Structure 1
């Protein structure tokens, strides 16, 4: 397995989207940056908010694209090209309709599952899907027609707390993931209900 070198959190830019469920991936990066006392700063060449940190002996690049979700690949591919990272060196955090709020799942590779941010990253990386995903559950509204409104709405207080708890649990398994022990990281994270 390729060592993870960059953590990317997907979302939409601007205050109107900041607190919406679709920004759960961005919330993960923001929470991790806060935990590391590292501010994210605008970085034009990576089309996003960026920071470089050393975490438990690992050099990591943190990025929240400031492009819209369906243009996330622009930010990811610019980071990949600049540092000459393979796609497999990325952990991409994103909201996931098929997982209940308050749960998070790690997954290596796979398709985009209809997620526009993942679709654009896969496309921008020449159809390379071999990156690790951190899927942060936001629940499904129950009807496909309600999905857009659901992901672009803010969760209630209790739901937001459950998502934040899942983010904290995800941060707690990062050391295992960075050591290359994805099986144990998944086992630990996936056991949280």
Structure 2
């Protein structure tokens, strides 16, 4: 079963569909952040749209795959940020529900699509060729992004019912960054590598 899944994941038609889905999701994601971006000081704009930037990285990585190329630095960014922001969005939506905000159809769309983001990272880990230096650079960016988000209050907007818990969310987010970095490091180190061909 595992071999069959690995076979499907590297098929050109599957990669093309995944490229299109991620490309469209990236565009929608930046649109989703439109109001927050309009209210963001220019020097912080790069740090606000987290999830669409993660899906942009995997879109670029898959684009390289389609041409038989690879860009390990982008693969590292994609793997870490897909896990981090995929799981983060799922947790924030479920956390909002637990604190009194009913889950809407949009909430379920966000939960499923972001869970899919994290799943992509885990599924494609055997295909990535990430080196420790790539993860060091991603770690610097990711943790600096957390600092910008929670020191300067540039984090993605959350449901009102979650606003009293911003300190806990900040701790959770930094912990999730570390978890994502460690997961990618360990999986990349110990999972057998699979060629794209």
Relative to its length, the structure with more helix (as a share) is 2
Larger radius of gyration: 2
**TM (normalized to structure 1)?**
0.30
TM-score with structure 2 setting the length: 0.30
